[in-house]
Structure 1
Amino acid sequence: MPPLTLLIRLYHPQRVYRVFRVLLTVFLLIRKRPSWLGIRPLTPPQLVASIEQLGASFIKLAQVLATRADFFDSSYLEPLRHLHDRLPPMPAADFQQVFDRAFGDGACFSSFEAEPLACASIGQVHRATLLDGRKAAVKLRRNRIERVVREDIRLLGWFLALLHPLFAEYTRNSIEAVLIAFRRTILQEVDMQAELSNLERFRQAYPDSGVRMPVPYPQYCSHDALVMSFEEGVRFDDQERLAGLDVSFAALMEKLVLFYTEQMLVKGFFHADPHPGNLLVTEGGELVLLDFGMVSRIPNAIRLAMINTVKAAYERDFELLVQATRKLGIITDSAPQDELTGLAEEIFRIFDNDQLSAGSMQELAFGVMDALKEYPFKLPQEIVYVMRASSIIEGLGTSYIENYNGVKDVLPVLKANLTRALGERDSIWGVVTHELAQLPLTLVKARHLVDTLQQGDLTVHLAEEDRRALLRPAQLWLQQMTWIGLLVALAFYLRGFVHPLAGWLSLGCFGLAFVRLVWWKKV
């Protein structure tokens, strides 16, 4: 497809309007509003159908949104979770273009199967044989998929800016966190070199995990293609075929839980999509992990704060919980005390021993997210990915082991690895050494504070949301939103006409609303 034709298709008025309806639905559901300017949110089937019609970028966005039980209720979450990332193979002409860019005349292969083994929104996988006889899996990205994704990200950014003033600070922060995570993830997935880097780093970071990973062949890889060893095995969810293998499911689950504990709590670098299609079991009972496009990195400070949050919840330590959740970015320094107390009590209730013994990892994750619905706090996307991966792993366990409980199995592993996860300062001597080392700096800071108070130079910093509230008068906000609302309403009115020009005029009104919004933000 020529570049101009692609752009016309991506920015067709009907498609632009569909993007707007999807995003508006997300905002309305989060804010629990029945409508905006008379527009009601899409129903779950309508939302899923719109996402499927919008294509690869929005299917991936839906996968991120499906992790947010703090945003949606089950009537929306379940359809989003079951939205399958499966598409037909590339047209022959597109396939040939991508293959030629990646391999030229294909001289590196002795054979290459044109019929793909699997197809998804980003790419498709083929079986091939290298010249030296090694079997290879070749992942080709779809033709021009990176251009499509970048244009969709730009379109999402426009509408986010348009809807930005309509919602509270915490809602904006949460939505922006989701879109930032989505942007980072999908740009990784459309670049085969990024996936190659993830695979190589995983193999270096976890050489003794007991879990096998494909061997990459970097000399054949490019932005369009990832070439790696072909791994044979049975999908983890193929119960009929797995039953014929001489394997211990309890041992497999123990290995998987240990591996993910190491990833999420010790190293902070983990495979964020352990669904059954990405896990194989060999005839010898070995686990194989595939597809390294969706890999998440947890910053060290976030990882330690996450562990301390769980520790505080167990010990009902209010001060530690507030400190840890502040480091996670869940709460701000200006959060009201009564709301902090309410959130703490809710989390303490969720982590109550009796609750944990009867509940599941998914119930635990959803319980925490449901608690956040009632308070103006946000959940970092890194934590959501951890919860999602944990729930998926528990789902694998319940498929094969009666009464399998992820909470009961994961918590002993966490306790056993707590010292290693927290680092050497978790020991008594480590704590004493750290505190002694920090003492001179603490004394210097204390003296500086006293001097500042004596000189009358103490500066008080307001919270970001308070400062914005003072700098943005309500009258100006209402005036600008009236103009923007009128332009958007006119755009919807024009869509009711069947004349082709009406569609372009409608899009123009959307554009003017966006320009006015940008102009207002600059002044």
Structure 2
Amino acid sequence: MSSLYSPRRLWSVFRLLLSFYLLIKKRETFLGVSSLSPDKLASTITELGASFIKLAQVLATRNDFFDESYLNALKTLHDDLPPMSQAAYERVMAKAFPTVPFIRFDSVPIASASIGQVHAAWIDETTKVAVKLRREGIEKRVRADIRILSLFNGFFRPLFSHTTRHSIESVIAEFSSMIVQECSLRHERSNLEKFSSLYKDSGILFPIGYPSLSCDDALVMSFEEGWRFDDRDAILSHGLDIKPLIDQLVRFYTDQMLVKGFFHADPHPGNLLVNGAGKLVLLDFGMVKRVPNDTRIAIIELIKAANERDFESYVSAAKRLGTVAYDAPSAELAEFTERMFDIFGNDALDSGSMQKLAFEVLEQTRNLPFKLPQEAIYILRVSAIIEGLGTTYIENFNGIKDILPILQKNIPRALGMKDSILETVIDEIKRIPGDINAFRHMIERASKGELSVELSPLQYEMIKKEFRAATAPLATVLILALGAMGFWMAGIEEAAYAFLGAAMMRLWYR
């Protein structure tokens, strides 16, 4: 445990977070210390281990935080680590399987990541399974990392603006919650079961879990064969058409994020296979997220406004989603949005040119109050991963240009509409009694004077911010006035007049 809090490791974490602060604030140095170079930043993250690799993977979606060179360095980080030592492996196996249920078990893992490693095994001569073993002591290490992150974030917190501070805290809070859950293989098995049930008609294949053989330290599943989604040569050499699979993947994630609100948040190429029958196989359910209904509606409105190039509606939806501060200037944001959409809607540009122009626009608008709510962090990450997968096979594949038309077709379904007009009418008729009852209840409450107004979290945050700004000068005036009174009572008239004068000046220039 002491090594988790060693001075050298604490210094590495401090340098890493200081670099993030300097890069976000566009400052050269702080207390005489400069930010790490892109390569050194990546190597420091790798050295610090699992928690910081996963944090960096989340931050790699934030092109409003980092310039292109740092984003490219962050995107090179992979969650691939050496396997456990033989002694640690034997201890984990003994804990997970007091009585070994396998007739054969490959001790050499086929994959090794930050949370665990996967082995092939056989329950009998015909049943091959995948066994995921949790790394020894990983939960303790992750919780120590979270404490260190929270400590240093508290140190840097006062140095950020109101909007940026909340955006960074959202990233850290969401990351902390997710990685602790990911450490539990029992939680992952529960996610797999829910996912398999909810999306059984999706056409996507999932592993089948073995609950009686699984525990918090081991997850036993059916062994799924296939090629990694980014193994272009292998997939194409077997005569498989990848474009329908990309279309199916985008539609599947539309269904997850906008319709069902329960989505797999880590679809990187190692977790997405194409089998010999041309079917998509989804693996690893440690990172599964729920999207609240109000967030899904805001995303749908955002997509609809983007597709219709309605910039003011786009900004309004972005504010409801929480990606833009509630008190942000709508006119400036609409102008920014229009410039971005002109870039992504230009068919003459390739994806590299689009990204370069987008970075230039983002650089010019860095002071606009953007932020990122917790629910949107993994949605952006998933979108970036899927776009990366698309570019493997489709030249100039672009999220705005290629995905929006597909999403547009799914908006009615996401809003709860039925497949036919008749079904929609019948559904609305069924809702009439409930609507009448709700209206009657509202009239009764109004007649009794019991109607209440509920503020959204964004409105409450804005009011709280403005209240603090308005009352801070008054608090200073009160302290100075009390100081003046104290000096007067002590007979120190010069100090009393000075404090009283300072109080009046602060009141005048508040």
- Taking structure 1 as the reference length, the TM-score comes to 0.79
Aligned to 2:123: 130
Distance in 1 between residues matched to 2:8 and 2:323, nearest whole Å: 37
Name 1:174's counterpart in structure 2. Answer: 167
Residue aligning to 1:139 = 132
Distance 1:437 1:29 in 2: 55
d(CA) in 1 for partners of 2:252, 2:348: 24
Is residue 2:63 matched to residue 1:56? Answer: no
Distance 1:385 1:113 in 2: 34
1:413 is matched with 406
Distance 1:136 1:462 in 2: 53
Counterpart amino acid of 1:206?
Y
Mapped contact 1:69–1:366 kept (Cα < 8 A): no
Residue 29 of structure 2: SS of its match in structure 1? coil
Per the alignment, do residues 208 and 161 of structure 1 end up closer, same or farther by CA in structure 2, a change over 3 Å counting?
Answer: same
Q: Residues 400 and 300 of structure 1: is their aligned pair in 2 closer, same or farther, counting only changes over 3 Å?
A: same
For 1:399 and 1:316, how far apart are their aligned partners in 2? 28
Kindly state the Cα deviation for residue 409 of structure 1 after the two structures are TM-superposed: 3.9
Report the Cα distance in structure 2 between the residues aligned to 1:437 and 1:353, rounded to whole angstroms: 49
Rg (Cα) greater in structure: 2
8 Å contact kept, 1:67–1:385? no
- Provide the rounded CA distance (Å) in 2 between the counterparts of 1:366 and 1:295: 33
Residue number in structure 2 paired with 1:455? none
SS at match of 2:131: strand
1:201 aligns with 2:183: no
Corresponding residue for 2:336?
346
1:35 paired to 2:29: yes
* Residues 138/33 of structure 1: CA separation in 2 closer, same or farther (3 Å cut): same
Per the normalisation by structure 2, the TM-score is: 0.81
More divergent stretch after superposition (420-429 vs 175-184): 420-429
For the Cα contact (< 8 Å) 1:94–1:143, is it kept in 2? yes
Tell me by how many angstroms 1:319 deviates. Answer: 5.8
The equivalent of 2:71 in structure 1 is: 77
- Change beyond 3 A, Cα 1:450–1:140: closer
Q: Structure 1: how far apart are the matches of 2:464 and 2:59?
A: 26
SS at match of 1:172: helix
For residue 176 of structure 1, what is the amino acid of its counterpart? E
CA distance in 1, matches of 2:93, 2:464: 50
Q: 1:14 to 1:341 in 2, by over 3 A?
A: same
Question: Alignment identity in percent?
Answer: 48
Q: How big is the shift at 1:300?
A: 1.1
Q: Which residue in the other structure is 2:38 paired with?
A: 44
| 1:120, distance to aligned residue in structure 2 (A) | 1.3
Secondary structure of the 1:349 match is helix
CA distance in 2, matches of 1:85, 1:370: 29
Distance change (3 Å), C-alpha of 1:307 and 1:356: farther
CA distance in 1, matches of 2:64, 2:153: 19
Equivalent position SS for 1:373: coil
Q: Over residues 305-344 of structure 1, what are the superposed CA-to-partner deviations in whole Å (9 max), with x where a residue is unaligned?
A: 01112223344546644542232123444x15xx221112
Whichever residue aligns with residue 463 of structure 2, its letter is A
- How far residue 283 of structure 1 moved from its aligned partner, in angstroms, is 1.3
> What displacement does 1:232 show?
0.8
Distance 2:418 2:394 in 1: 37
Amino acid at match of 1:245: H
CA distance in 2, matches of 1:463, 1:66: 32
Does the alignment pair 1:278 with 2:278?
no
Q: Which runs of 5+ in 1 are unaligned?
A: 1-6, 453-459, 477-523
Moved more, 385-394 or 138-147: 385-394
Shift of 1:391: 3.0
Aligned with 2:92 (options 87, 92, 98): 98
Which residue in 2 is equivalent to 1:399? 392
Kept in 2: contact 1:279–1:290 (CA 8 A)? yes
Residue of structure 2 in register with 1:239 after alignment: 232
Q: Which of 288, 299, 319 pairs up with 1:295?
A: 288
Residue 468 of structure 1: aligned partner = 468
Alignment of 1:335-484 (within 5 A): 335-336=327-328, 339-352=329-342, 355=345, 357=347, 367=358, 370=362, 373-402=366-395, 404-424=397-417, 463-470=463-470
Moved more, 406-415 or 260-269: 406-415
Closer, same or farther: CA 324–406 of 1 in aligned 2, 3 Å: closer
Is residue 350–residue 367 contact of structure 1 (8 Å, CA) maintained in 2? Answer: yes
> For residues 286-306 of structure 1, what are the alpha-carbon distances to aligned partners after superposition, in whole Å with 9 as ceiling and x for unaligned?
111111122222111101101
Aligned residue pair count: 459
* Alignment partners' CA distance in 1, 2:380 and 2:437: 36
CA distance in 1, matches of 2:324, 2:203: 38
Which whole-Å deviations, capped at 9, do the CAs of 1:464-520 have from their partners, x for residues lacking one? 2223345656999xxxxxxxxxxxxxxxxxxxxxxxxxxxxxxxxxxxxxxxxxxxx
Q: Are residues 441 and 418 of structure 1, via their aligned partners in 2, closer, same or farther at CA, if it must alter by over 3 Å? A: farther
Long gaps (5+) in structure 2: 453-459, 477-510
Q: Which amino acid aligns with 1:355?
A: G
Deviates more, 1:308-317 or 1:177-186: 308-317
What does residue 185 of structure 1 align with?
178
What is the DSSP-based 3-state SS (H/G/I as helix, E as strand, rest coil) of the residue aligned with 1:288?
strand
Alpha-carbon shift at residue 201 of structure 1 (Å): 1.2
Matched-pair contact (CA < 8 Å) for 1:124–1:141: yes
CA distance in 1, matches of 2:120, 2:262: 29
Aligned counterpart, 1:326: 319
State the Cα RMSD in Å.
Answer: 3.4
Q: 1:158 aligns with which of 140, 151, 156?
A: 151
Q: After alignment, is 341-350 or 392-401 more displaced?
A: 392-401
Distance 1:450 1:187, change over 3 A: closer
Change (3 A) 1:237 1:451: closer
SS in 2 for 1:137: strand
- Do 2:51 and 2:179's aligned partners in 1 also have CA atoms closer than 8 Å? yes
- Report deviation, 1:436: 7.6
Q: CA separation of 1:252/1:450 partners in 2, compared to 1, >3 Å: closer, same or farther? A: closer
